[in-house]
Amino acid sequence: MLVERMRGFGTTIFAEMSALALETGAINLGQGFPDTDGPATMLDRAADGLHHGLNQYPPGPGMPALREAISRHQASYYGLSYDPASEILVTVGATEAISASILALCEPGDEVLVFEPYYDSYAACITLAGATRAPVALRPATAGERFGFDPDELRRAVSPRTRVMLLNSPHNPTGTVLTRDELETIAEICLDHDLTVITDEVYEHLTYDGTEHIPIATLPGMRERTVVISSAGKSFSVTGWKIGWVCAPQPLVRAVNTVKQFLTYTHNPAMQEAVAYALGNEMAWVDQLRTTLQAARDRIAAGLETVGVAVTRPQGTYFIQADVRPLGLTDGDRFARALPHQAGVVGIPTAVFCDSPGVGTPFVRFAFCKRAEVLDEAVRRLTDYASRG
């Protein structure tokens, strides 16, 4: 029998909506994974490693070449210096990094501050640790605007039991990229209350319209209390590879690795070597991916706007939010479940990513990390649906 604390985590909304896509023949814009591969040279490097001896356990903290490449990346892009030998840990994707970090840093009964709507694994990771969520809402001021937070609401959410701030920027599922001013507010609160920050930055290179991603670890006083997490999956379109990493001061890395070593110990060395190569040689490919994704965002936004919903064009990530209130509706879940039957397109109701009643209720999330022809067909279906009234 499943332990009581995990009984609320059964069949995911992604499985439900994917099944509905199969049942109706709808285009599935629910799940956020690309339908094209990453750079060919990186793939070739992985294949070559498999054929030339990289098939046994690598070092537990990760292959030295990858840890060194991550160190150079952090210094080059953000001016952050991390010792590859003691301040960088390779994980099985960012999800394991987040899980291991929360398990390592939270006692039962501790609270974790998290912006909602949130990536769905956060809730499960916090529950596994015996901790509790303290959600703070991200909302648009009006339909179609950027999702932001109320600093006073964030301050009120802190209690004597608050231990960790779990921060995601660029943010899934709203597409918000936190500004320097917003990050400074968050940093001030964390410093005032001696909070550790765990940051999910997997979409760090997928920002649009010139929006800058700023790691909170670059702010004064924050490097020493921040566990920076990212991965290769989104940047290089290899979500199935599950190569993630942690960058943090040595005591925090040691704590996270104490847990991580008993979850998976380590991961595929050939793929680690390939990602090390890509971080040093394929960032121009990532730049082109960002351009392609921005065009894809605009393509699906135009299609959704024909339906009459209010669209928030994201500053980053794979996802776009549609607000159903301009249609005279209030329930995004009902709209999302009807759309596959009526228009042949699948999205995910945003309310499933929230704890607080009403925060995500009128919104539906759509993924645009798909081939142009897939998005064009989705737009055609949406336009046809709109023309039928």
pLDDT mean over 273-285 = 98
Query: pLDDT at position 31, please?
Result: 86
The per-residue pLDDT for range 145-176, each reduced to its tens digit, is 999 999 999 999 999 999 999 999 999 999 99
**Domains in the chain, ordered, with CATH?**
4-38+285-387 (3.90.1150.10), 40-281 (3.40.640.10)
Task: Please tell me the predicted confidence (pLDDT) of residue 356.
Answer: 94
Q: Does residue 32 carry a pLDDT above 90? A: no
Structure tokens at 270: 């050939």
Higher pLDDT, 278 or 4: 278
Q: Is the pLDDT of residue 47 over 80?
A: yes
Residue 83: the pLDDT is 98
| pLDDT above 80: residue 11 | no
Arithmetic mean of pLDDT, 133-144 = 95
Average pLDDT over residues 179-205: 98
CB 207 within 8 A of CB 290: yes
- Exposure b/e, 217-253, CB count within 10 A at least 16 = b: bbbeebbebbbbbbbbbbbbbbbebbbbbbbbbeebb
Spell out the residues 6+ positions from residue 2 whose beta carbon is closer than 8 angstroms to its own: none
Instruction: Write out pLDDT tens, residues 298-355.
Output: 999 999 999 999 999 999 999 999 999 999 999 999 999 999 999 999 999 999 999 9
| pLDDT value for 127 | 97
Residues 46, 274: contact at Cβ < 8 Å? yes
Per the DSSP assignment, residues forming a β-bridge with 136 are 115
Alpha helix segments (H runs only) across 308-387 = 332-342, 372-387
Per-residue confidence band for 115, with pLDDT thresholds at 50, 70 and 90 = very high
Terminal CA-CA length for the chain: 48
Query: Quick one: pLDDT at residue 12?
Result: 82
Taking CA atoms, 49 is separated from 233, 245, 269, 276, in Å, by: 19, 20, 8, 12
- Judge residue 155's burial from the number of C-beta atoms within 10 Å of its C-beta, 0-12 exposed, 13-18 middle, 19 or more buried: middle
- Amino acid 164: pLDDT: 98
Nearest to 191 by CA among 199, 183, 179: 183
In the chain, the percentage of residues whose pLDDT exceeds 90 is 94
As a whole number, the mean pLDDT across the chain is 96
Q: Report whether pLDDT(112) > 90.
A: yes
- Mean pLDDT confidence for 23-37: 93
Overall average pLDDT of the 48-77 stretch? 97
SS3 call for 65 = helix
pLDDT for res 221 = 98
- pLDDT of 389 above 80: no
The band of 13, judged by pLDDT with boundaries at 50, 70 and 90, is: confident
Is-contact 229 199, C-beta < 8 A? yes
Q: If DSSP codes are grouped into helix, strand and coil, which group holds residue 162?
A: strand
Distance CA 185, CA 191 (A): 10
Q: How confident is the model at residue 373 (pLDDT cuts 50, 70, 90)?
A: very high
33 pLDDT more than 90 = no
**Mean pLDDT across the stretch 21-28?**
95
